[in-house]
Structure 1
């Protein structure tokens, strides 16, 4: 069955979206009453707001030991880093993969693996550009630890950005998540960090486009890194 034009244009939206879309629409209406060109600009921003809060259905890959991207966007950093202290993952560096979400990406966040949410740690902070390396340490953040059935732990951290001023985590400690399940959203423009366990190498490269819940980020216990792509 082919994809209809309606399905291409009209997307499901996150529950956070309607109130913001409504505000944008009301402001646009007022702008139209004041001066039509301003109203056109407002209409464009309203459409952007609608697509910002889109929450499309994703096809989660099947197979053992797969780690999928928790966010749409571009891989901005791949490097060893000490996980945030509040996650309790130790003080030894783990391989960190950062996915930067622009204001045009879908911002619904999804679980990279199936497991129990054993830790949720929030820390207030700054609102530096999420593309900067120091944003992982200095920006407002909310981290989760997902513990798999075999005891393997994966850390995933929501990081606020220059424009983002609201991190929303929709799960609590003790929740059971499947791979690709939704767990939160950040508005507007931000970043997700994933901390892989020792002995696991990323299967992605810096600059690669990621699709939340679909792109395979790593295979657990596979130390073979991705082959660097030509730019």
Structure 2
């Protein structure tokens, strides 16, 4: 396992702040109270571990397949439905949404290989990720990847109530590879996939996904 570069500043800042807090508490509050100091130290360590785990990247055997759409994120499948995609396709698509809790791995991966035919970033609100309007009102990105045969899949990163920054590493016109890192959502959120209607969905509601590993769907 390794730690993601997006967490360097946050982890360093959190560690220094907790050290300062414990130092001040020792000299001005709990110098004569060893029990209170041990409790504060324990809480501080647990809090630091919680922050660090947000940025972990576990070692995995990644899945590759030209016809397969691979899960772009760790999380739980919360939406599988036919819906109208109004930003890019402007027609009906199969939507699969994965909710990322604060305990999930937060790196996002390309669901398939191809060319980024469309990219947009939208600042916005921070509604809870399962709110019906989070897909259109929250901070988000929209990325469309086109395969050589012309098939396109849309992926949307959506910030949640805790997330305050979406990071992306792709740009329009760029060639991307399946399962490689395409971005990061800090402190949890949601990822939507919009697939062709004839795509075979391989996941079920409530199923846990692993980014870069789970096959979400198979393209015709």
Match of 2:84 in 1: 82
- 1:198 is displaced (CA, Å) by 2.5
Measured in 2, the distance between the counterparts of 1:124 and 1:141 equals 7
Residues 62 and 141 (structure 1), Cα distance of their counterparts in 2 relative to 1, 3 Å cut:
closer
Match of 1:159 in 2: 158
Q: How many residues end up aligned between the 2 structures?
A: 208
Measured in 2, the distance between the counterparts of 1:206 and 1:198 equals 18
Match of 1:173 in 2: 172
Match of 1:26 in 2: 16
Pair 1:63-2:65 in alignment: yes
Pair 1:17-2:7 in alignment: yes
- 1:177 is displaced (CA, Å) by 1.4
Measured in 1, the distance between the counterparts of 2:45 and 2:143 equals 37
Question: Is the Cα contact below 8 Å between 1:84 and 1:137 reproduced in 2?
Answer: no
The 5-angstrom pairing of residues 104-123 of structure 1 reads 104-123=103-122
Tell me whether 58-67 or 181-190 shows the greater mean CA deviation: 58-67
Displaced runs of 4+ in structure 1, greater than 6 A?
A: none
Measured in 1, the distance between the counterparts of 2:86 and 2:45 equals 41
What is the root-mean-square deviation of aligned Cα atoms in Å?
Answer: 1.4
**What TM-score results when the alignment is normalised by the length of structure 2?**
0.90
Tell me whether 157-166 or 58-67 shows the greater mean CA deviation: 58-67
Tell me whether 55-64 or 181-190 shows the greater mean CA deviation: 55-64
Residues 84 and 28 (structure 1), Cα distance of their counterparts in 2 relative to 1, 3 Å cut:
farther
Measured in 1, the distance between the counterparts of 2:65 and 2:158 equals 29
- What SS does the aligned partner of 2:153 have? strand
- What SS does the aligned partner of 1:122 have? strand
Q: What is the aligned counterpart of 1:48 among 50, 56, 80? A: 50
Match of 2:34 in 1: none
More strand by share: 2
- 1:84 is displaced (CA, Å) by 4.6
**What TM-score results when the alignment is normalised by the length of structure 1?**
0.86
- 1:208 is displaced (CA, Å) by 0.2
Measured in 2, the distance between the counterparts of 1:205 and 1:119 equals 28
Match of 1:129 in 2: 128
Question: Is the Cα contact below 8 Å between 2:66 and 2:112 reproduced in 1?
Answer: no
- 1:79 is displaced (CA, Å) by 1.2
Question: Is the Cα contact below 8 Å between 1:13 and 1:55 reproduced in 2?
Answer: yes
- 1:120 is displaced (CA, Å) by 0.7
Measured in 1, the distance between the counterparts of 2:5 and 2:146 equals 27
